[in-house]
Amino acid sequence: MYRTLLVGTLAVVAAAACGQTPAPALSEPAPQPAPPPAGAAPSAAAVFEQRLLPIFKSPNPSSCVQCHLAAVDLKDYILPSSRDTFLALRGQGLIDLKRPEDSKILKLINRGAADPKTAGLIPAGKRQAEYDAFAAWIRACAADPALRDAPPPEKAPALATKPAEVVRHARKDRVAESFESNVWAMRFRCMNCHTEGTPQNLKLVKEHGDRVAWFKKGGPAAAMEYLLASKLIDLDRPERSLLLTKPLGEVKHGGGIKFVVGDQGYRAFRSWIEDVAAMKAGKYAGPADLPARAAAPKQYGTEAWLKLTNVPRAWGGKLLQTDVYAWDAKAGGWEAEPVATSDRMVGDQGGVWQHTVSLLARPGTPRAKAWAAGRPSLPPGKYLVKVYVDAGGKAMADWKAVLGPDEHVGQVEVQARWAEGYGAMTVADAGRVRH
Ligand code: HEC
Ligand code: HEC
């Protein structure tokens, strides 16, 4: 048989080389694997080839993207051969040979089916097809003694899966949480120009179209989905994202300059974009590569303004940051961590500095719970405002730098109402700032 095939092939090649129409091959057609007898289950290898390999080779993401922004794809659980895939999945405890339908890999695939929140984001048919393919293949593996009873290899074939911490970090709900604290919370720095449905935004939409309505009225998750799919984020070169270059004024911007490199708004936007870019590029290999999650308190945007009067001329043209501390009546002292913060460039002449404040709370604290449930706000009372002036241009030189003791120029106590709106600012006298 081998001989005839070879001769036939050579004949075709020779004929083609002479520029003639190839003569019909002399040999019989290549032997096909015998079709399984009617009623018999197809082999694991056949199911693999027909149903798992297409998933492996598909350029499209699997149904996992519904809830995982990156770091996970069903492809990561498939190797080029059926046997290797079996050994690898079995080695990781993802296959249950006794009760194939209880296999963990099937549970991973099916998570979306039970989650009403995410229903409709991925066509159910896609997930069902993935599920059915794996279920059929696992059944076939379990029915094949050569696989079922195969001893664990000395070195199991490795899957391309990422450590659980990395998978967790890139879960959409986690990324959305970070978006809420880093981007959504800063929306008042963009006033209401980009907040969908506000009078200011409706006016701008008439002039510039829907593209200026990107702080979506559906809330942070909707805004994140929109931005991720838009041209405003450049994942290859995060610092070139229009979301940064427009408010910096590096690219002509209808709203003027709203960020300087290294200020809180820039730092928060940029960290979030850099984080997403690193996830998408697969740069996080293990827990040590991940940005510290719990290090920063969550931020909440407000339209409460803080104003400093009598700002010394010496601070003109510099980035000025205010950290606000609440009075703890029980302890009889100022709280250890700021409850609000803001920063902005001082005008060249000094004089007046004013900006909206972001509120700060660590996740899980009573304040964080109250602010998640309602409108974040501070009660009236006495507060301490610590003032930092970046005389050396530290933030501008390194956008990740945080102002600290070197920039601390002193503090001043205020009686604050923290009413919202431009006309109801809390005012502190910068002339009374002392160490
Ligand atoms: C409907 C949303 C949803 C879908 C779809 C989904 N997952 Fe998940 N996944 C989650 C959630 C939520 C968790 C965290 C579960 C927990 O902590 O108990 C998770 C956790 C995981 C983990 C464990 C990491 C850890 O936290 O320990 C892996 C691995 C995983 N998913 C893989 C997948 C794969 C592969 C797919 C696609 C076939 C997929 N997931 C589809 C929501 C989903
Ligand atoms: C006073 C109103 C105003 C403010 C405040 C403002 N913008 Fe804009 N922005 C505009 C206008 C008008 C446009 C449309 C013209 C243009 O593209 O520059 C625009 C466009 C943009 C675009 C491009 C949108 C697109 O899809 O093409 C981005 C990104 C942007 N702004 C970011 C910001 C950020 C970030 C802030 C806050 C830190 C901000 N803007 C504050 C008015 C404003």
pLDDT tier at 116, thresholds 50, 70, 90: low
221 lines ligand 1 (CB under 6 A): no
| Structure tokens belonging to residue 369 | 């719970």
Give the distance (Å) from ligand 2 centre to CA of residue 246. 7
Q: Which residues pair with 199 in a beta bridge?
A: none
What own/partner pairs with CB < 8 Å and gap ≥ 24 does 204-213 have? Answer: 204/254, 208/254, 212/254
Going by CA atoms, what residue is nearest to atom 26 of ligand 2? 211
First-to-last C-alpha distance (Å) of the chain: 95
Cβ of 195: how many Cβ atoms within 10 Å?
18
Ligand 1 pocket test: pick from 58, 111, 131 the residue with the most ligand atoms within 8 Å of its Cβ.
111
- CB neighbours of residue 356 within 10 Å: 21
pLDDT tens per residue across span 87-98 = 999 999 999 999
What integer is the mean pLDDT of 135-153? 95
pLDDT at 24 over 60: no
Ligand nearest the Cα atom of residue 193: 2
pLDDT computed for residue 112 by the predictor: 75
Residue 64 CB–ligand 1 contact under 6 Å: yes
Percent of the chain with pLDDT over 90: 83
Is the CB of 112 inside a 6 Å radius of any atom of ligand 1?
yes
Residue 127 CA to ligand 1 center (angstroms) comes to: 13
Tell me which ligand sits closest to the C-alpha of residue 170. Answer: 1
Residue nearest to atom 35 of ligand 1 (CA): 74
Global pTM reads 0.87
Q: What is the pLDDT of residue 14?
A: 39
Gyration radius from the chain CA atoms: 31
Q: CA-CA distance, 42 to 54, in Å (whole number)?
A: 17
Check: CB of residue 294 under 8 Å from CB of residue 197: no
**Closest ligand relative to 94 C-alpha:** 1
Calculate what percentage of the chain has a pLDDT beyond 70.
88
For the stretch 44-71, pLDDT in tens is: 999 999 999 999 999 999 999 989 999 9
Using one digit for the tens of pLDDT, what is the confidence trace for 315-354?
999 999 999 999 999 999 999 999 999 999 999 999 999 9
Encoding tokens for residue 278? 């690193």
What ligand has the least distance to the C-alpha of 69?
1
Q: Maximum Cα–Cα distance for the chain, whole Å?
A: 102
Ligand 1 center to 142 CA (angstroms):
25
Q: What is the mean pLDDT of residues 389-401?
A: 96
Q: Where are any strands of DSSP class E within 218-339?
A: 298-311, 319-328, 333-334
Cβ 162 under 6 angstroms from ligand 1: no
State CA 91 to chain mean position distance: 30
* Interval between CA 421 and ligand 2 midpoint (Å): 21
Domain boundaries, the chain: 44-161, 172-287, 299-432
Average pLDDT in the 246-255 region? 97
Q: How far is the CA of 254 from the centre of ligand 2 (A)?
A: 6
Ligand nearest, relative to CA of residue 172: 1
Q: What is the mean pLDDT of residues 390-418?
A: 96
Name every protein residue with a CB atom under 6 angstroms from any ligand 2 atom: 189-191, 193-194, 204, 208, 211-212, 232, 242-243, 246-247, 252-255, 258-259, 265
261-317: pLDDT as tens digits: 999 999 999 999 999 999 999 999 999 999 986 677 999 999 999 999 999 999 999
| Range scoring the smallest mean pLDDT among 120-124, 128-132, 347-351, 353-357 | 120-124
Ligand 1 atom, smallest distance to 77 CA: 35
Rounded to the nearest angstrom, the distance between the alpha carbon of 129 and the centre of ligand 1 is 18
Rounded to the nearest angstrom, the distance between the alpha carbon of 105 and the centre of ligand 1 is 10
Average pLDDT, the chain: 90
In the reported structure, the alpha carbon of residue 205 is separated from the centroid of ligand 1 by a whole-number distance in angstroms of 38
Range 382-400 average pLDDT: 97
Stated as kind and residue range, the H or E segment containing 397 is helix 394-397
Residue 39: pLDDT band (50, 70, 90) is low
pLDDT at 35 over 60: no
Q: How far is the CA of 182 from the centre of ligand 2 (A)?
A: 17
Choosing from 67, 75, 174 the residue with most ligand 1 atoms within 8 A of its CB, the one to mutate for a pocket test is 67
Please, are residues 307 and 417 in contact by the beta-carbon 8 Å criterion? no
Residue identifier of the C-alpha nearest atom 41 of ligand 2? 190
Ligand nearest to the CA of 114: 1
For residue 15, what pLDDT is reported?
A: 38
